Amino acid sequence: MRVFKRDKSWYVDYRVNGRRVKKSFGRQKALAELFLKDVELKLARGQLEIVDESATWPEFLDRYLQYAKVTKSPSTVSKDLSRLKVITEFLSKRGVIKLKQIDCLLMEEFKAQVLKTCCPKTFNHHLDLIRTILNKAAEWKCLRSNSLVGFRRLKNSRDRQMRFLTSEEIQRVLGAADPFMSRAIMLFLNTGLRKSELVYIEWKDIDFENRILTVQAKPEFGFHPKSYKRRHIPINSTLEKLLLDLPQNGRFIFDDGGNHPLHHPDFYYKNLMRVYKKADVQGANLHTLRHTFASHLVMSGVDVRTVQELMGNSSIAITENYSHLSPVHRTRAVEMLKFDLPVGTNKEQNPHSPS
């Protein structure tokens, strides 16, 4: 490390992790000497690191995806790839090549584009992914900092009620389904399972003696429950009969005969949408069955904390979104009040007139 003069300018020459760095200070020798002392102190404390901000989006994306494939589940990586395609197309059209070019102003443009065809939740998913990538870039010394740290996610409307099926709609849906989908729908309705959770339920996950169904990770298939938490769901009489009637063709309750899941998770979504159409049920999807499980539990008087445990939600606030009540149920609840008028009250008397 040294301070030296070339022509009329003063320079500081030093190395960090074997890499040479040369910085010019013009004619200010004192400033160069002061900077060198600061460098020496930071090197002694291990606080000096080189950040190379020359990384391009395509180059870094390859590196990030290698990391993601090791640390994330296959289904999450698949979703990331779909979102990255949209992000990369946008960056390409804007002529953005380097990571350091991604800033809040650019994200405002991206937000405007996404919202033309998608809901706020979709934009939030894309934003979260970009921020995760930039965080890794900063951690791996490819950026000085994540420029999107302060960029806010969009708020989802709290007033929008989550769709759940009424008892009458459930009967219509079951009537429109073939025998296989009818069994699958009943499983969803009686457990609140997510589609990927149903796919990977094994016979060993079912304890008929204690009437408990366990949702847990299947690492060899790249599956894990949301939040990586195991949970236990009691088996009611309807679910017990349904499970006992299923043929045991292999390891899974829906098995292809070779100890592998019979269908991909998306199979259930696509076929259920056809069933909804046939049953003339509007505004519903596969996750509606999960909403229905939670909503009917709450309307039957089950407390929200218990529903949270059954659903496997990480936060009670999430479960509270499921705990809305149907208009009919609210009306019935109010009718339970027994506040009678005092005996002898004149119903024809003007309530605003003096007695």
pLDDT tens for residues 228-266? 789 999 999 999 999 999 999 999 999 999 999 999 999
Average pLDDT over residues 119-134: 94
CA distance 75 to 80: 9
Average pLDDT over residues 22-38: 89
**Tens digit of pLDDT for each residue in 193-224?**
999 999 999 999 999 999 999 999 998 888 88
**Tens digit of pLDDT for each residue in 34-52?**
988 888 887 777 766 767 7
Instruction: Provide the CATH number for the domain around residue 76.
Output: 1.10.150
Residue 146 lies in a domain: no
Residue environment code for 78-96, b if the CB has 16+ CB neighbours within 10 A, otherwise e: eebeebbebbeebbeeeeb
- Do 224 and 293 belong together in one domain? yes
104-114 and 120-139 helices, crossing angle to 10°: 150
Residue 85 lies in a domain: yes
Question: Number of structural domains, the chain?
Answer: 3
CA distance 145 to 187: 47
**Tens digit of pLDDT for each residue in 263-284?**
999 999 999 999 999 999 999 9
Of 70 and 184, more confident:
184
Residue 300 lies in a domain: yes
Backbone φ/ψ region at 17: left (φ over 0), alpha (ψ -120 to 50), beta: left
- Do 30 and 104 belong together in one domain? no
Residue 182 lies in a domain: yes
Of 299 and 57, more confident:
57
- Do 224 and 321 belong together in one domain? yes
- Do 17 and 106 belong together in one domain? no
Average pLDDT over residues 153-158: 74
- Do 287 and 204 belong together in one domain? yes
Model pTM?
0.63
pLDDT of residue 78 exceeding 80, the answer is yes
Cβ 39 vs Cβ 1: under 8 Å: yes
Would you state the pLDDT for residue 16?
Answer: 74
Residue 23's nearest CA partner among 47, 50, 43, 41 is 50
Cβ 39 vs Cβ 27: under 8 Å: no
- Do 185 and 214 belong together in one domain? yes
Q: Mean pLDDT over all residues of the chain?
A: 87
Of 90, 121, 139, the one marking the end of a domain is: 139
Would you state the pLDDT for residue 332?
Answer: 67
Would you state the pLDDT for residue 354?
Answer: 54
Instruction: Provide the CATH number for the domain around residue 258.
Output: 1.10.443.10
pLDDT of residue 325 exceeding 80, the answer is no
Q: Which helix (H) or strand (E) holds 314?
A: none
90's CB contacts (< 8 A; 6+ apart) are: 110, 113
- Do 282 and 324 belong together in one domain? yes
pLDDT band at 159 (very low <50, low <70, confident <90, very high): very low
pLDDT of residue 296 exceeding 50, the answer is yes
Average pLDDT over residues 323-341: 64
- Do 61 and 39 belong together in one domain? no
Residue 348 lies in a domain: no
- Do 27 and 87 belong together in one domain? no
Q: What is the dihedral of CA 36, 41, 44, 46, to 10 degrees?
A: -100
Cβ 53 vs Cβ 143: under 8 Å: yes
- Do 41 and 61 belong together in one domain? no
Residue 349 lies in a domain: no
71's CB contacts (< 8 A; 6+ apart) are: none
Q: Which helix (H) or strand (E) holds 10?
A: strand 9-16
**Helices of type H across the chain:** 29-45, 57-71, 74-93, 104-114, 120-139, 167-176, 179-191, 195-199, 237-245, 265-279, 287-299, 304-311, 316-320, 327-335
- Do 182 and 231 belong together in one domain? yes
Tell me which DSSP letter residue 143 carries.
S
Q: Coil, strand or helix: which one is 202?
A: strand
Residue 215 lies in a domain: yes
Average pLDDT over residues 92-120: 94
CA distances from 242 to 180, 188, 189, 239, 342 (A): 11, 12, 12, 5, 54
Domain span at 16? 2-45
Of 349 and 297, more confident:
297
CA distance 201 to 194: 11
Q: Which helix (H) or strand (E) holds 148?
A: none
Cβ 24 vs Cβ 9: under 8 Å: yes
- Do 228 and 305 belong together in one domain? yes
Residue 128 lies in a domain: yes
